[in-house]
Amino acid sequence: MAKQNGSVLLRPQRAVGIVGYGAYVPRYRLPASEVARVWSGRMDTLPIKEKAVAGLDEDTATMSIEAARNALARARVDPHRIRAVWVGSESHPYAVKPTSTIVAEALDIVPLTSAADWEFACKAGTEALQAAIALVGSGMADYALSIGMDTAQGRPGDALEYTAAAGGAALLVGPAEESVARFEASLSYVTDTPDFWRRAHAHYPSHGQRFTGEPAYFHHITSAARLIMEETGYGPADFRHVVLHQPNTKFPQRAATMLGFKPEQIQAGLLVPVIGNTYAGSSLVGFSAVLDVAEPGDRVLVVSFGSGAGSDAFIFQVTERIHEVRDLAPRTSDYIARRTVIDYATYARFRGKMLMK
């Protein structure tokens, strides 16, 4: 498995880190019991408490803009010094026309920047992050903005409708000396595993039922986590916080146990019970919740999972600067506390599930 340079780790030549971070979670919440009331009648097996739902006037572009504004407020960097705006999502508003140019324009990062949309199911956001680390780490740029954001789709009545949610986070990558979390190492682990997909003109995704568990989520996420720990020489006890992709409450809890982590290590970043699975935003918004509470010196492991399938693993160490920037923008918990419960009918209207003509 060893690559040419003797390591499977992805590490840039120049030291980099997260210089600003920002979350976004929309206002509306659909309790899982509402989905059960309409479709199954079974209240005993709900995968989460409630999920965040985007309002009628929100989409991946508007949500990315707000998260990115929060990241820039914390970083206090001149937007014109940002050389990349990369948005990972599986709900880009257009099939052809980038979300990233809308975000770059709204934040006054245009025109001297790369802008692109990334796609890899739920790990599109960490793909963008990894590329941003590489861009800054190579010396091609001082700052690169990566975003994972989704307004996830779920087929009415399907198991995924309980959890498919809206939200995400933006991370501005920059030089390590300015960072709130220094980047240590990354690793990607991918195979062609068709556990979940959506064809070009389909409204809703399809999935392989139980096939989404062992061969997809658990295999990729535990392989990536184990390998990055093996290669860096860290063990489970070296991490204060661990964020694993969160399709439901049970999966990340079980994967964490399989990897030797204790429940308190995943606690701060485990948002799925109260906001749902925010797909490409899931592991990044969990990471932003961790950065909201972490202390200097804390080491954080973040592992995404995207169907299709693969995982990106990252190790960061939080720096002293976290205390300076934390309250320059709303915390993840401020967005989670702002909640308006809606019923299934309002949800159906908000998500365009009713045939109007």
Partner 1 sequence: MTVARTWRTRRQRYSLVGERCDHCHNAIFPPRDVCPYCAEPAQTQMALSGRGTVYSYTTVYDAPAGFGEFAPYPVALVKLEEGPMVTAQLTDVSPEEVTIGMPVEMVTRKIQEQGEEGVIIYNYKFRPQLQRQARAA
From the number of C-beta atoms within 10 Å of its C-beta (0-12, 13-18, 19+), residue 333 rates as middle
Q: Closer to partner 1 at the Cβ: 3 or 357?
A: 357
Name the active-site residue from 34, 122, 161, 219: 122
Q: What is the DSSP string of 131-189?
A: HHHHHHHTTS-SEEEEEEEEE----TTSGGGGTB-EEEEEEEEEEGGG-SEEEEEEEEE
Distance CA 62, CA 23 (A): 12
Whole-Å CA distances, 271 to 32, 167, 266, 275, 283? 15, 11, 10, 6, 9
- Smallest gap from Cβ 13 to partner 1, in A, equals 35
Give the nearest distance from C-beta 347 to partner 1 in angstroms. Answer: 15
d(CA 268, CA 290): 6
Q: Which is nearer to partner 1, 56 or 345 (CB)?
A: 56
Instruction: State the minimum distance, in angstroms, from the CB of residue 176 to partner 1.
Output: 28
CB of 65 to partner 1, least distance (A): 5
Least separation in angstroms between CB 70 and partner 1: 10
Q: Does residue 90 have an active-site annotation?
A: yes
For residue 200, the tally of other CB atoms under 10 A from its CB is 5
Q: Catalytic residue among 90, 161, 178, 184, which?
A: 90
Question: What are the φ and ψ backbone dihedral angles of 142, each rounded to 5 degrees?
Answer: -90, -30
Least distance in Å: CB of 228 to partner 1? 33
Q: List residues near partner 1 by CB under 8 A.
A: 27, 55-59, 61-62, 65-66, 93-94, 102, 105-108, 327, 330-331, 333-335, 337-338
Select 76 or 338, whichever has its Cβ closest to partner 1: 338
What 8-state DSSP symbol labels residue 218? I
**CA 112 from chain center: how many Å?**
26
Q: Please give the Cα distance from 166 to 276 (Å, whole number).
A: 8
Q: Which residues touch 192 (CB under 8 Å, ≥6 apart)?
A: 308, 309
Are 87 and 99 contacting, i.e. CB atoms less than 8 angstroms apart?
Answer: yes
Q: Which residues are the active-site residues?
A: 90, 122, 245
